[in-house]
Amino acid sequence: MNAEVKITWYVSDIRVHELREEVRLLTENLAQEIREHESMAKAVIADAKAEAAKMIASAQAEAEQSIKDTRQQCHRQWRESVTNAEKEAEVKAAEILEKGRTEARECYEKKKAAAAEVADWLVKEVMTTYGSC
């Protein structure tokens, strides 16, 4: 072989060897970069999961508080309606009681005269039958 060809071949062999080394370093660097990005992606996913868990917990707490507030409001409204119904019942009971008293007085006044007559008759009958003491 010609010396010039040998030198060219030798130089090209060195160049190929250098290129292979560069390719090997590039693949190692690329693999390392891929691992780093995977780690970063895992961290982002973990952060997202943690944030999602916080959001879910917050939403659940808010829903529970809303349920509690609504339950309290309903109880208050129920209590107010019971109180109002009790007041109305007391007013009606007082009206009914007064009406009953008025009717009882009227009945007493009507029957008072008749009761006196019956009492007189009864006393006369007892006196007639048994005599005076």
Closest to 119 (Cα-Cα) out of 127, 129, 110: 127
Model pTM score? 0.48
**pLDDT for residue 96:** 96
**pLDDT for residue 22:** 80
Q: Is the pLDDT of residue 102 over 80?
A: yes
Mean pLDDT, residues 60-84 taken together: 97
Six-digit token string for 110: 């009507």
pLDDT digits (tens, 9 = 90+) for 30-49: 999 999 999 999 999 999 99
CA angle 105, 111, 115 (to 5 degrees): 130
Give residue 81's identity as a one-letter amino acid code. Answer: S
The rounded distance, in Å, linking the Cα atoms of 19 and 25 is 10
* Percent of the chain with pLDDT strictly greater than 90: 57
Average pLDDT, the chain: 87
Six-digit token string for 92: 């009606």
